[in-house]
Amino acid sequence: MSNRLPTRTVGPLTVSAIGLGCMNLSHAYMPAPGPAQAERLLRHALDMGVTFFDTAALYGFGANEELLARAIMDRRGDFVLASKCVLGEIDGKRGLDGSPRAIARMLEDSLRRLRTDHIDLYYLHRLDRSLPIEESVGALVRAVEAGKIGAIGLSEMSAATIERAHAVHPIAAVQTEYSPWSRNAEIAVLDCCTEHGIGFVAFSPLARGLFAGAVNSPNFAPGDIRASMPRFREPNFSYNLALFGQLQTIAREAGCTPAQLCLAWLLSRRPFIVPIPGTTNTAHLEENLATLSLDLPDAVFAMIDYVFTSRAAAGARYSRAAQAQIDTEIWLDEELDT
C-alpha cells in the first residue's frame, strides 16, 4: 500500500510534488549502489508515495532503465515514467544524435529495456545543434501518434528553443538544473513555462549532493562526473562548501535540514515546479519527502535569496566540453570552465 503525497501537474500529467531522479543509482556519482540496494530504494520510493520516476537511455547506457524494469515495472499503473533520448551509447561511447532515425531507435531500445510499450514523458535530453529542433520534435510527435509516448519534454534548453519546439507540438515539461546555486532557469525559461503552461522539472535540486551534506571533499571516486565540474574543483570547492555552511545555519534556525530547505525553496518558486532529487539511501529519501509536510515562512526563503544570488556559486556548472551541449541561458557575467 502506497502513501499519498501532495501532487503537482507537469503538463497533462499529475505527479507527486517531489519525484525521484534515478540517475545516481546506475551512473555519474560513484560508487554506485549494488543492484539489490538500488531496487529496494526504488520500491521504497513507490511505497512512500512517489509517483514520478525519471531515467534516461544515457544512464549506465541503458542499465538504469533495466533497473527500473526489474524493481517497479510490475506496478506500472502506480507511477508516471519519464525517460530521455538523443544522448546515449553510440559505438560504445557517450554520443549525441537528435536525428529522427536515432530517436526512433533509442525509443525502441528504451521500451525494450523498460519492458513496457508506453513511456509517459519522453525528453530530448540535449539539443543536437547539427539539425533544426523541429526535426527532433517531429520524431517525438510521430511517437505520440503511435502511442509509444504520452507527452514530450525538453532538457537543458533555452526559452528560444522551447518556443520553437512548442510551435511544433505542445511541450509538457522542461527539465533543467535548478537549486539555490544554479538559477539559470530564472533568466527566461521559467517565464516561458508560465506562458505556455509547461511543467518544470528541477534536476540536481541539492547541488549534486553538496547541499545534502554528502560531499565534504573534492576527492571523488574514479568515474564520478563531479570531479570534472569546475564547482567541485579547488579553489572553487572550498568557497562553495562555505556557502553550504551558510545554508546549514539558515536550515538550523528554521528547524529543518539543508536538503529540506532547498526543496521547500524550490517548491515555493512556482506552482508547476517538481524537484527530482536522487539518492541511494532510504533515510535520505524519507527526509526529502518529509519536506512536503513543512510550512516554512517566506522570511526563510528570503534568506536563501539573500545568500544565494543568481551567481553566488564559484565556478561554472559544467566543463567547457559539456557546456557545448547545453542550450540553457547563462548570465552575462557567468564564469565558464573555471
List residues with catalytic annotation.
Answer: 59
Please state, in angstroms and rounded to a whole number, the distance separating the CA atoms of residues 207 and 210. Answer: 5
CB 285 within 8 A of CB 313: no
CB 165 within 8 A of CB 155: no
Specify the DSSP element, H or E, that contains 274: strand 273-275
- HSE toward the beta carbon, residue 304, CA cutoff 13 A: 27
How many CB atoms sit inside 10 A of residue 115's CB? 14
Residue 251: which of 243, 260, 242 has the closest Cα? 260
Q: What is the dihedral of CA 182, 183, 185, 188, to 10 degrees?
A: -150
Lookup result for grid cell 500500500: 1
**Helices (H) then strands (E): counts for the chain:** 11, 12
Residue 323 C-alpha cell reads as 557546456
CB 33 within 8 A of CB 280: yes
Helices (H), 124-158: 133-145
Q: Which amino acid is at 113?
A: R
